[in-house]
Amino acid sequence: MDENMKEKKENDKEDSYSFYHIARRILLAGIGAIAIKHDEMEEFIDKLVERGEIARKDREKLIKEIRERHKERFSDEEAHFHERMDEVLQHFHVPAKKDIDVLNEKIAALEKKIDQLSKAKK
């Protein structure tokens, strides 16, 4: 029976490990896409300046405005992402930190009781 429990724990670790890496890759891909998007935006604006379609002095203003709009939109998307991640974690029954903290407190209390009982027997 101990062998089955060890195997289950190893499988659970592998599942959460692979889930972590999948989520990490998705996040990194998103960050990379955003970085490329900003670079392309600045290149596009520079081309507009070269062609004389916008004034050089307006370049920084336009870039700042686009970044602010993107920041607002990104914060909304980030909130939505966190909601979705919470749903996924709940679906896979991944405990939250507060759940683990509660269990750790219970374990500590039980260990204390065990120590008290063992001392009382002696």
Tell me the per-residue pLDDT of 107-116, one tens digit each, with 9 for 90 and over: 999 999 999 9
pTM strictly above 0.85: no
Per-residue pLDDT of 14-66, as tens digits, reads 555 566 667 667 766 666 666 667 778 788 878 888 888 778 888 888 788 87
CA angle 80, 83, 84 (to 5 degrees): 90
Specify the pLDDT at position 16: 52
- Residue-wise pLDDT for 44-55, tens only, equals 878 888 888 778
Every domain of the chain and the residues it spans: 2-91, 96-122
pLDDT of residue 17: 54
56 Cβ contact partners less than 8 Å away, ≥ 6 residues apart: 49
